[in-house]
Structures are given as structure tokens and as C-alpha cells.
Amino acid sequence: MLKGKVAVVTGGTRGIGFATVKKFLENGAKVVLFGSREETVKKAVDSLKTENPNWTVEGAWPDLGDADQVADAIGKVKEKFGKIDVLVNNAGISQSTRIEDYDPADFDKIMNLNVKALFYTIQPTVKIMKEQGGGCILNTSSMVSISGQPSGVGYPTSKFAVNGMTISLARELGPSNIRVNAVAPGITKTDMVAALPDAMIQPLIQTIPLRRIGEPEDIANAFLFLASDLASYISGAVLSVDGATRV
């Protein structure tokens, strides 16, 4: 579904990001994954190359909070592969601190990675996509961007912002043949969720009409669809992948 395409995936060393990288590789894309640390990036790349030596996958570890570092990393992908067809902004952090206990520095940290970093990756990528005649930008949102959450206001605030950026850029960049969409995962079996005791997991499952927690591959499948030509007339969408959870 992505044969011949070049993709960049941030937060690509584990969880949803790693599953997305693998799904893209399985479908013919060349992928550069971004991670926060050199050692985790190299470990992820080595794992993928061991699984299939024919996959074209590389890694980089720019500070996503530094616009110049991000622009340089994006530029190097263009230099190496000649284009960037797909950008997946998946890197992010969450928090559940109650408002009266919130450290303003923690709020800034969430907004910096979950919102500002998207701007830093998108801006240089858009210039490349315009030059080549089009592309696809995908952002990881969350079900709490629709429903909110009872504590940790920084996280849903950041994801509401992701939705706003997605929809606005879809309108701005559509005339340049650049599609912009977001995926809003529900409760997904990332490392953090998988570590929870069963006594906490079971009540969560009961809130999900499909009666299971999402797998990273479920979210990766949504990214694959939106990145592919099957979604060529879809832009400005926030696709919920949450088992019909509404909380």
C-alpha cells in the first residue's frame, strides 16, 4: 500500500510508533524513525533490520523541542531519499496530575512535545512536500481530545490543539495536494498500560463496547490507511480508533 513512499515517524522506537514503522515497512515504504535517544533508536532499527534485512529503515534522534535540530534532521531525510511522502507525528507524553498539584513546568513540557514539536516537524516538511507536488501529514491525537479527562488537564488540552492544527492545516495545505489527518486512539496496550495489574485493566475493558483494549497494530492500521492512496480524498479528519469508547 505504500510501495515507493518515504516516511518519517516520530516516537518510532516503541508502542504505537514502532508498530506504525513496522506496518509501513511491511507495505513497501522506506522509513526514518525519530526517537529521543540514540541507544533506543539504534535498538529499534537493529530489531527491524534483523526481522527483515530487505527493509529500508534508518533512525535519527533530534531534540523535537529544538526547531533547528528538527529542520536539520528533516533536511537530511530529503537529501538521502530525495523526498518525504508521509510524516507521522507520534511522539508525545501524558500526565494525570490534578490541577491544584500541577507544576507549570510540567504543563510546558507537555505542550512543548505534544504541540510545538508538531509545528517544528511539519513546517520544514511542508516546504519539501510543496516542492514535490504533495504529501501526507498524520498526527497522533487521543480519545481525550474529544471527551476530555477528569485530571491531567495538560494532556487533553494538547490533543485538542493537535486536532485544531490538523483541521486547519488540512484547509491551508489542500490546494498544495497535502493531506493532513489525525488518529485518536483509545486505551491501547502500550508499555505503560501493559504494566497495569489485571484488577485495573478489567474495569477499563468494561468501558469499551468492543470489550478489549486496543493493540498498537490497531492504531498502525489506521495510519497505514490514511497514508495510502485509499484515503486520497480524506483530509482534515480525526479518526477515532477506540472500540467505540466514549468517556
- Domain membership flag for residue 193: no
pLDDT reported for residue 245:
86
Number of domains within the chain: 1
pLDDT reported for residue 204:
85
- Domain membership flag for residue 210: no
Q: How confident is the model at residue 199 (pLDDT cuts 50, 70, 90)?
A: confident
Containing domain of residue 150, as a range?
6-188+215-241
- Domain membership flag for residue 200: no
Q: What is the pLDDT of residues 100-118, one digit of tens each?
A: 999 999 999 999 999 999 9
Q: Can you tell me the mean pLDDT for 46-67?
A: 98
pLDDT reported for residue 194:
74
Q: How confident is the model at residue 210 (pLDDT cuts 50, 70, 90)?
A: very high
Q: What is the pLDDT of residues 24-48, one digit of tens each?
A: 999 999 999 999 999 999 999 999 9
Inform me whether the pLDDT recorded for 246 exceeds 90: no
- Domain membership flag for residue 194: no
Q: Can you tell me the mean pLDDT for 54-73?
A: 98
- Domain membership flag for residue 208: no
SS3 string of the chain? CCCCCEEEEECCCCHHHHHHHHHHHHCCCEEEEECCCHHHHHHHHHHHHHHCCCCCEEEECCCCCCHHHHHHHHHHHHHHHCCCCEEEECCCCCCCCCHHHCCHHHHHHHHHHHHHHHHHHHHHHHHHHHHHCCEEEEEECCCHHHHCCCCCCHHHHHHHHHHHHHHHHHHHHHHHCEEEEEEEECCECCHHHHCCCHHHHHHHHHCCCCCCCECHHHHHHHHHHHHCHHHCCCCCCEEEECCCCCC
- Domain membership flag for residue 101: yes
The domain that contains 174 carries what CATH number? Answer: 3.40.50.720
Q: Could you list the active site residues?
A: 155
Inform me whether the pLDDT recorded for 195 exceeds 70: no
- Domain membership flag for residue 202: no
Range of weakest confidence among 33-42, 77-86, 144-153: 144-153
- Domain membership flag for residue 228: yes
